[in-house]
Structure 1
Amino acid sequence: MKRFSFSTLMLVLGLLFIYLPMLILVIYSFNASKLVTVWGGWSIKWYVGLLDNTQLMGSVLRSLEIACYTAIAAVALGTLAAFVLTRITHFKGRTLFGGLVTAPLVMPEVITGLSLLLLFVAMAQMIGWPQERGLVTIWIAHTTFCSAYVAVVVSARLRELDLSIEEAAMDLGARPWKVFFLITIPMIAPSLAAGGMMSFALSLDDLVLASFVSGPGSTTLPMEVFSAVRLGVKPEINAVASLILLAVSLVTFMVWYFSRKAEANRKRAIQEAMEQTASETWQAQPKQPQRTPATA
């Protein structure tokens, strides 16, 4: 009989600590009572009521829009920064550049948010832009914050790549930009997807930066939830959080499924290529003439 080890116990306790609050939140989103802490039976009225809560749904759509734009911009900037740090080893100011790229990882968000706020105010006074803080300023702040995470993830993947494939392509006449888009990008695609998902989640979850650089009419979902929690948690918030958990779970499952399928297809293609190469090599070998027994 297999013993229940200490490591297994800690694993179970850790998973319960992480996922049990989410499960309770989903269950209480179907609570019929207006009081979140009092169970009043099963009901879906809070999900139906979301259609009439235009303020809450507007903040959800606004946060999703900003998160999508942030993921795209952060992946682009973070990938370029990672490429510079890993492939261009010697240039003036490399240490300073590396420090600036990774600074948002260790800098408190309050300092980052205040710095960006002062920057936007100074730019508005000097060049007249931005005239007011809104979605664009939140997008710039989130992109600045998330690009550092993408740069770290992509840099780790770039350091593991075999440069001989890229060098072989350039020896055959491919230009550097073509090698980058047709060879390097497909090989680091998993890290790009991971960085994009991380940027999307960080942008969707951010409260501090958005509080500094937002303006009237640009309230995000974390800001809306934080302001509502001061007066007590509303059941609609549980319903919105459950829908976001469902959406994130579906997207994560789809990414995992297609990544696993692509990896399986790649391994199958490599196996078929190896078998075909072995078959062609065996057929290309010269056949030795059969010896006839000598007659007496």
Structure 2
Amino acid sequence: MNIAYSPCPNDTFVFHAWAHGLVPGAPKLNVTYADIDITNHLAARGEGPEVLKISYAALPWVLKDYALLPCGGALGRGCGPLVLSRSGLSAEADPALLSGKRVAVPSDRSTAYLLFRLWAAQKVPGGVSEIVVMPFDEIMPAVRDGNIDAGLVIHEARFTYPSYGLALLQDLGSWWEEDTGTPIPLGAIIARRSLDLGPIPGWIRSSIDYGWAHPEASKAYILEHAQEMDPDVAQQHINLYVNEFTRDLGTDGYKAISSLLGRAGAEGLIPEFDLGLLKFEA
């Protein structure tokens, strides 16, 4: 089975056991490692593999061909995207200070992007002047070097941004949780509807359970793909993004996804789609 997911520690942790033939009955995986912005657009064009990781924000473009799986993705609390600046500016104190600024984002089809747009619509009078899409690993250096006014960052950047001399403007996860009471839906696992979908969630859950039961087994694989990340940072990343929602979205997970996409649809940030397509049917 062909699959695409990111080299980030949460994805390599989740799929380590399956990718290494440790899940009984699961087919062999042919893995492509790709940034989520790449997989978002592959899926939207219908060119993606059978199973792949995308942003929840990209679901409206792909649900005709792909089904959202009820496990394997990233939702959680206290793990939201951050808006950063090189100054001591505090947008939490005065969001108007972001008016007319240039902001870099890792994707215009990411949950981070939707959260930023929804927050800015509430909090930033007149909005920002320009949204610039760039690879996530280039954003913090660009802000540090003054090439961009502020940056929207994800994943391990929440642990490493102080080393770039950057300041936190807004934790969008904190805003989202306070505003909605739901967890933050970040990355989704989807599979082609033409597949026999029934056994796939079980294989993913078995892979997750193996990782939790044998935490040392996946470390070499995780660090091999973690782009020279410090082992402690990689473990923090896993602890934050691999949780009960990774194993099963549950009622709260589906509520969070519906809330995000419902609000984004009302703001015209995504195309119209049937929210009923979010439910998994084997």
TM-score, normalised on structure 2? Answer: 0.23
Query: Which structure has the greater CA radius of gyration?
Result: 1
From the two aligned structures, give the one with the greater strand fraction.
Answer: 2
